[in-house]
Amino acid sequence: MADAISGQSPAAAGAVAGNGARPAGDPLTLAGRTLQEMASYPVLLCPVASISAFRHGERSWIVEGREVAYLDAVRHTQWFNVLAAPAVVVPVGQSPEGLPIGVQIVARPYEDEVALAVAGVLDKAFGYRHPPLARSTQNSY
């Protein structure tokens, strides 16, 4: 139910501090700070996941004795969706098991061509390698 004076919901009204500033952990504040940093650093290179490559169908892993669920492993990448920042993933290597290891290229909002250009440079430098499954079934039509 909206607050009678401000018209905001109690949750939204609580998001703004008494001096009108948003709390440091507020998503809008964090988005603003990230975009401000990206004025100086227009491209970010990030991991695709917080774990190494995994096989199709796997949804959890044990990392340092703790279970890591799929969405937790990729949670840090979701932030760029909030920013409306274009992102591209390019394979740049392989794990010891032969699975692809990629890098995520993130550009500023509305600069899709920048993300794609950097992806092209990385793809040309590192080249695509078929993952193990693709190699074994590549010519089995």
Q: What is the pLDDT of residues 59-107, one digit of tens each?
A: 898 989 999 998 888 887 888 888 889 999 999 988 888 788 899 999 9
Nearest to 99 by CA among 59, 130, 63, 122: 130
Confidence label for 1 from pLDDT (cuts 50, 70 and 90): very low
In this predicted structure, the answer to whether residue 45 has a pLDDT above a threshold of 60 is yes
Going from N- to C-terminal start, the domains of the chain cover 35-135
Say how far apart CA 43 and CA 15 lie, in whole Å.
Answer: 30
Say how far apart CA 70 and CA 62 lie, in whole Å.
Answer: 11
Comparing 45 with 55, the larger pLDDT belongs to: 45
Residue count (the chain): 141
16-25 pLDDT, tens per residue? Answer: 445 566 666 7
Confidence label for 54 from pLDDT (cuts 50, 70 and 90): confident
% residues pLDDT > 90 (the chain): 35
